[in-house]
Amino acid sequence: MINNTDAVRVIDSNREDAVVVPTMNAGNVRFGLPSVTTNQNLDLPISGAMGKASNVGLGIALAQPGRKVMVLDGDGSLLMNLGALVTTSTKAPKNFYHFLFNNGVYAVTGGQPIPGSDGVTNWEEIARGAGYAAVFSFDNLEDFTTGISEVLAAEGPVFIHLAVEPEIENTPVQFRTRASRTAQQAYEEVTAALAGDN
Amino acid sequence: MTTEVYESVLHPQSLVAELKKNSVSHVVWLPDSETNFLYNMMMEEPTLDLIPVCREGETMAVAAGLWVGGANPVVLIQNTGVFEAGDSIRGLCLDLNQPLVMLVGYRGWTRRGPTPDSAGRFIEHILHAWGINYYLVETDDDADRISIAFEESQRLNRPVAVLIGTEFGA
């Protein structure tokens, strides 16, 4: 299992000028991308529309075909919008990298198991069957650290399954650490950063 | 023997012309029963990139990403899909002040007699509840309302709906 913060750090350190669209644990301000990012202007956390981070990333990838787009999805999130895998593979953007943070639980609501988390669901087969061009899977930090170069050299859409440790939150929502920038600010900043590139 | 004649009063050419006039780059859509002639015409239009989705709630999210990336998308769905897409409309279109024109097939709309279809009865109430302004397009003569919707959405940074109240003809 890969620590959540270690996973986002490996991705961030290999991002170059990629836009990164994280959600749930991967976008958490304490242990997700915002805690390690080296290019906040190209981070677009999506939490306001259940399961739609990959759709937002797809739109950016299609509008910006010369720039990599990395979506950091959650397993519970992807289950809410499983058809997005087929939507993505239908347009087949070569610059699209879909990381699945599989922690087996709804971490932000207290750690309840997600459907299929008892081992009956095979995410790699789902992605392959949906039509992704390449599929990778990592369950330890060392392999992920050495393997990410091959991942990012592959032509998209690429699906990367990561077995990660859940960061379960039980603190009442009103007492949790809030992001330093609102979703609206992030939307405006990334739009401005990309202006003129399409 | 009588022959029923179904006269189309809104042609897909009118809508496509409005999309081109407003420099639309992408149509993010899920077909409904009223848009097949439009689909055929959009497929033949080289300036439009069609993005089919599996569920209507995806359309607003893909459109948000396209907008962030500098493109100029519209969404094309049926009113039943607006109900399905509620959380995307709330969490993306409204919370992010997305200047998005949503072309919405108005299933159940009629000017004559009762409207038994709940999709027709509820849609305007739902749009009112969200504070989303909308325009009704039923004939080619109404098509310029689509440009009004574009102007309004971009001026106010708000989603604006265009309710397509009739079936497209060939």
Residue A69 β-bridge partners: A19, A96
Spans of all domains in chain A:
4-194
Local structure of A98: helix, strand or coil: strand
Q: Which residues of chain B have pLDDT under 50?
A: none
Residue type, B143: A
Does B3 fall in a domain? Answer: no
CATH superfamily, domain at A4-194: Thiamin diphosphate (ThDP)-binding fold, Pyr/PP domains (3.40.50.970)
CB contact under 8 A, B71 and A59: yes
Does B125 fall in a domain? Answer: yes
Nearest CB neighbour to A195, from listed B55, B65, B70: B70
CB contact under 8 A, B68 and A87: no
Does B169 fall in a domain? Answer: no
Does B1 fall in a domain? Answer: no
pLDDT at A32: 93
Q: How far is CA A181 from CA A34, A177, A185, A190, in A?
A: 10, 12, 6, 12
Does B2 fall in a domain? Answer: no
pLDDT, tens digit (0-9, with 9 covering 90-100), for B140-164: 999 999 999 999 999 999 999 999 9
CB contact under 8 A, A48 and B61: no
**CATH code, B60:** 3.40.50.970
The Cα of B126 is separated from the nearest Cα of chain A by a number of Å equal to 18
pLDDT at B6: 53
Q: Which residues of chain A have pLDDT under 70?
A: 196-198
Between chain A and chain B, the number of residue pairs with CB atoms below 8 A apart is 117
pLDDT, tens digit (0-9, with 9 covering 90-100), for A107-162: 888 888 999 888 899 999 999 999 999 999 999 999 999 999 999 999 999 999 99
Chain A CB contacts of B50 below 8 Å? none
CB contact under 8 A, A55 and B58: yes
| Residue B59 structural domain | 12-164
pLDDT at B7: 57
Does B73 fall in a domain? Answer: yes
Burial pattern B66-92, b for ≥16 Cβ within 10 A else e, equals bbbbbbbbbbbbbbbbbeebebbbebb
Domain count, chain B: 1
The rounded distance, in Å, linking the Cα atoms of B36 and B168 is: 8
pLDDT at B134: 98
- Phi and psi of A100, rounded to 5°? -105, 115
Q: Enumerate chain B positions whose Cβ falls within 8 A of a Cβ in A.
A: 25-26, 28, 49, 51-55, 57-58, 60-71, 73, 87-88, 90-92, 95-97
pLDDT at B39: 84
